[in-house]
Amino acid sequence: MVAFNRYNPTPQDIAWAEFVISMLKDGGIWGAPMNNSHWKIDKKKKEFWLLEGDVDFDFFNKTTALFAKFGYKVLDKRGRGIVFDEGSGKT
């Protein structure tokens, strides 16, 4: 896993992520048109997987920080992710 600088989601970002989590069923797929990516949610394991798409590191970093607010780990198709230490604010 890679550590990266913390992105601090806005209240609008948090509301959007809450909506995405609530609308997807466990195992559901979300398509992000801005980068033609597809993501799968595992609500039991609290994981959000990038299945495919042209996602740059900045977008992946922001998605990781955002979904961490809800206790989710964000992983790429190889099982790699970015780890944030929520308690200390350090990466």
Separation between Cα atoms, residue 84 and residue 51, nearest integer Å: 21
- Model confidence, pTM: 0.77
Q: Residue 22: give the domain boundaries.
A: 11-75
> 41 with 23: CB under 8 angstroms?
no
Confidence bin at 33 (pLDDT 50/70/90): confident
* pLDDT at position 41 over 90: yes
Comparison of pLDDT for 79 and 51, the residue scoring more: 51
pLDDT at 91: 36
Structure tokens at 4: 């990266």
- Is the residue at 46 inside a domain? yes
- Is the residue at 21 inside a domain? yes
Number of domains in the chain: 1
- Is the residue at 81 inside a domain? no
